[in-house]
Chain A
């Protein structure tokens, strides 16, 4: 109890609280700008934290990352530009709600379930960190291979329309993921002698192009109507939260569970958590046909997942100094810098510091409600803008975002090319989401397959030799073959 009182004393000081507030505003700002990710917000904070005390330094990073992940939902909903990759899974869904005039409902749900998801992730971090970290450390290449394969399976559930077109989209994404030098054999592929392409196709530029530029193109071809989209005013979004909680708690729980589990695995992170949560909730939904038409269920699940993943990504980071994602990779460096060396000893010798970090986690997710509300209010004028004014602005935003992701003009070209690709895909009824999933997971599937093969001298049984891998592998194969088995059973029953 003493340690907790001591920790509260470390946190509830004017300078710490002011730092948290400034970091929140910074995180919201960076997250809302397309192309600038939560990771970038962290990297920009690093030099500032050199000159801070340990607790405000770590606190600034906690709050800024939480705010950035939520803020990514705002441009995602209003403009169809995912502010951070963690929003990409439900960008289409949220944007459809805006087209239906329900932008405020979508954003209110994002805010509510982000904050709540963050609190769940924090609770898991506080209560189970040492145990969960042990399990997370057991994940090696075969386990990750199955995880990524399961992720790819999600493609069958996230695209609306015909499955064949979803698979086509996934294959386009997987092809894009093979470009570059960063593959296990370190052999340049599809680079055509270009130095820029050695780095592969920048995921963020491709994502902005596919979603946002294609939308700009579509508006241009339709003669750019001058009217605005009529919106339902929600007034105070807080009032809608009670019913939302009651109606969508199953999706919220699904999202939290997926987020916490995926987030704790080193190298998986909030982006993947959102995709899987979206797919899982669709699979379990009573109305899967409503997905992709502007349906809150998927938004609730994925929005809950990415913020709860954020907290659990700290589990392996704090316990073993192994980063759960790129955000915690930066945090680990800052922890070392301030003498808070990650490891079990941190919990034993400096419990007050750990508790202080936990208190900041809780504070950050509570602060998210008023600050996020303010951010939503500030973004309202966008909805009143005529489309023909808005579209050129989106284009300008996209150019800035694509450039900022890797500071390369080349990426602006990548974004435009993917915009054209996205336009033609959608004109032909090919969904975009599976393509993005393919780009995200292509490298992970390949790397872990090759790694497992190298390690076991090409023995394919290696994918089933370790207990967790065997479990995941059998589950994946069952999911794949379930339509076939069910079909056979039905036929036999009909024959009998």
Chain B
């Protein structure tokens, strides 16, 4: 036991020393930054929208910075593992990450201490509002009809699209609460993501999926799914025919998933000053705009402190919903 104790302490000391050395080295070379490859951590798996967004940003940023960007997936724990890996990386600018909306959710659930304040905000790259999607042959012609059905028989309809307490769960729970209904008036069926949720919608397993429009797009195009409304103050550019909740139900409700690039807290100012303009060029490039619009993803930009404020506000409003619906610890 003693042996492992000493060993651990030695390791710790070595770790601290190593950290100090790399920090010093980082500070010394921030002038020539970047002079070696950069790692971009993605907290979600290969194959999802977050992964493909990270990979297009990575390949365009590579051209801007002249250094390879290695996109690595650190998955698991509903995003906790990857978000922690970004925050705990050396703040030398050679490890950055793609943070997602979940950073403002998981700490309310008591899963981690980590919040958006633990990062250096660089740039918000994307925002997709939630929407209400039902089967094409569903009984409800529009959102008011659906709301009536929920009011008539609370607790009978089911919805899916994320795990318990995930972003789309909050979207529908918060929406119901805005309507003055119990957040549980639509029962939540956990799934691994929007795609399995939609599969379940098609199979007749659930009644609605409150995911973003781009996620449901193929099925909407195939005439299998109808999107009744978008939970945003303005309609989606790619789907102008889908009304907002304000328009059809008189409830203003803004909620959605966002993705942005962050660095660990305490990166040198020179690094942020180099990365933010490079990311802005990426954001404004025709390749990025083209990629996002073809996938149906929305673009939204904020950089540096403005992005920090955006994350803090998202954190507060999500926390409020989670407390309201009883998901916060």
Q: Report which A residues bind B (CB closer than 8 A).
A: 39-40, 42-43, 46-47, 50, 137-141, 143, 180-182, 184-186, 188, 195-196, 198-200, 202, 266-267, 316, 319-323, 326-327, 329-330, 332-333, 336-339, 341-345, 406-408, 447, 450-451, 454-455, 466
Can you spell out 18 A-B residue pairs with CB atoms less than 8 angstroms apart? Answer: A39-B47, A46-B55, A141-B189, A186-B78, A195-B84, A199-B75, A199-B80, A199-B81, A322-B195, A322-B219, A333-B295, A343-B219, A343-B221, A345-B222, A407-B41, A407-B73, A447-B192, A451-B189
Kindly list chain B residues whose C-beta atoms are within 8 Å of the C-beta of A451: 189-191, 200, 205
Smallest beta-carbon distance B273→chain A, Å: 26
- Interface size, chain B (Cβ < 8 Å): 59
Question: Are B218 and A332 touching (Cβ within 8 A)?
Answer: yes
**CB pair A341 B221 closer than 8 Å:** yes
Point out the residues of chain A lying under 8 angstroms from B224, CB to CB: 320
- Residues facing A in B85-129 (CB within 8 A) are 85, 109, 111-112
How close is B277's CB to chain A, nearest CB, in angstroms? 22
Given known contacts A138-B203, A455-B205, A199 and B49 CB-to-CB distance under 8 angstroms? no
0/1 string, B187-203, CB within 8 A of A gives 1: 11111100110111011
Most A CB atoms within 10 A — which of B41, B77, B221? Answer: B77
* Inter-chain contacts of A50 with B (CB < 8 A): 56, 59, 287, 291
- Would you call A342 and B76 a contact (CB within 8 A)? no
- Say yes or no for B309: interface residue by CB 8 A criterion: no
**Across the interface, which residues of A come within 8 angstroms of B154, CB to CB?**
none
Please tell me which one of the listed residues A42, A184, A320, A337 contacts residue B218 in the complex, with CB atoms under 8 A apart: A320
Given contacts A50-B287, A336-B296, A341-B221, 6 further A-B contacts (CB under 8 A): A46-B55, A180-B76, A186-B190, A322-B219, A337-B295, A455-B205
Contacts of A138 in B (CB 8 A): 203-204
Bound-complex Cα distance A320 to B218 (A): 6
- Whether A450 pairs with B190 at a CB distance below 8 angstroms is yes
**Which residues in A have their C-beta under 8 angstroms from that of B191?**
451
CB contacts (< 8 Å) of A195 on chain B: these are 77, 80-81, 84, 112
The chain B residue with its CB closest to the CB of A202 is B76
Stretch at the interface among B26-34, B158-166, B239-247: B158-166
Q: Write out the residue numbers on chain A whose beta carbons fall within 8 Å of the beta carbon of B203.
A: 137-140, 143
Q: In the bound complex, do residue A321 and residue B217 qualify as a contact, i.e. CB atoms below 8 Å apart?
A: yes
Q: Do most interface residues of chain B lie in helix, strand or loop, or is the interface mixed?
A: mixed
Interface residues in B219-268 by Cβ distance below 8 A to A read: 219, 221-224
Can you name the residue of chain B whose Cβ is closest to the Cβ of A322? B199
Instruction: Assess the B77–A198 pair: CB atoms within 8 A.
Output: yes
Q: Assuming A39-B46, A186-B163, A455-B189, is B77 touching A180 (CB within 8 A)?
A: yes
- Check B47 against A184 for contact (C-beta < 8 Å): no
In the complex, what residues of B have CB within 8 A of residue A47's CB? 55-56, 58-59, 71
B37 touches A (CB below 8 Å): no
Q: Do A326 and B77 contact each other (CB < 8 Å), given the known contacts A454-B189, A455-B158?
A: no
Are A184 and B163 interface neighbours, CB within 8 A?
yes
Beyond A181-B77, A198-B77, whether A341 also contacts B218 by CB under 8 A is yes
| Chain A residue at smallest Cβ distance from B76 | A199
A320 and B73 within 8 A (CB): no
Docked-complex contact A344 and B222, CB < 8 angstroms = yes
Give the complex CA separation of A143 and B189 in angstroms. Answer: 16
Chain B residues positioned under 8 Å from A186 (CB to CB): 78, 109, 163-165, 190
Q: Bound state CA distance, A143 and B200, in angstroms?
A: 11
- A199 and B77 within 8 A (CB): yes
How long is the Cα–Cα vector from A187 to B72 in the complex, in angstroms? 26
- Assuming the contacts A333-B295, A454-B189, asked whether A43 and B55 have C-beta atoms less than 8 A apart, the reply is yes
Among A40, A139, A343, A447, residue most surrounded by chain B Cβ atoms (within 10 Å): A343
> Is A198's CB under 8 angstroms from B81's CB?
yes
What's the Cα separation between A423 and B46 when bound, in Å?
32
Q: How far is the CB of A137 from chain B (nearest CB, A)?
A: 5
Cβ distance A228 to chain B, nearest Cβ, rounded Å:
37
Within 8 A of A (CB), among B44-59: 45-49, 51-52, 55-56, 58-59
Roughly how many angstroms separate A47 CA and B187 CA in the complex, as a whole number? 39
Contact partner of B76 (CB less than 8 A), chosen from A185, A198, A344, is A198
Chain B's closest residue to A326 (CB) is: B47
CA–CA, A221 to B199, complex, Å?
Answer: 50
Q: Which of B55, B78, B219, B221 contacts A182 (CB 8 A)?
A: B78
Inter-chain CA distance A40–B294, complex, in Å, is 23
Select from chain B the residue with minimum beta-carbon distance to A452.
Answer: B205
Q: A39-B46, A42-B46, A455-B189 are in contact. Are A266 and B84 (CB under 8 A)?
A: no
Q: B206 at interface (Cβ–Cβ under 8 A)?
A: yes
A175 to B165, CA, bound (A): 25
Q: Is the CB of B198 within 8 A of A322?
A: yes
Contact A141 B205 (CB under 8 A): yes
Chain A minimum-CB-distance residue to B297: A336
Contacting A188 at CB < 8 Å: which of B111, B158, B164?
B111
Q: How far is the CA of A333 from the CA of B45 in the complex (A)?
A: 14
Query: Taking A322-B195, A451-B189 as contacts, is the C-beta distance between A200 and B76 under 8 angstroms?
Result: yes
Q: Quote the shortest CB–CB distance from A194 to chain B (angstroms).
A: 10
Q: Which residues of chain A are near B221, meaning CB under 8 Å?
A: 321, 341, 343, 345
Chain A residues with CB under 8 Å of B196's CB are 266-267
| B219 pairs with A320, CB closer than 8 A | yes
Cα(A238)–Cα(B252), bound, Å? 68
The answer to whether A407 and B76 touch (CB under 8 A), given A267-B196, A455-B158, is no
* A184 and B190 contact, CB distance less than 8 A: yes
CB-CB under 8 A from A143, the residues of chain B are 203
Which single residue of chain A is at the shortest CB-CB distance from B169? A186
